[in-house]
Amino acid sequence: VSPSNIVFAGDSAGGGLCIALLQVVRDAGLPLPAGAVLISPWCDLTHSFPSIH
């Protein structure tokens, strides 16, 4: 399947996994997918934003 026909999607923790997978694909020098749909991705695992408290 051509990367131009692939879109990653996820919400919450799945959105964070999509971001992590995109970074792995990029760092490996592989072709990136056409896009990604992230719905409220959980990507701040440090909980450093003030709104979390």
To the query of whether residue 12 is one of the catalytic residues in this protein, the response is yes
Q: Which ranges in 1-53 belong to alpha helices (H)? A: 13-27
- Which residue out of 12, 40, 48, 51 is catalytically annotated? 12
Q: Which residue type occupies 45?
A: L
CA–CA separation, 42 and 35 (whole Å):
18
- Catalytic residue numbers? 12
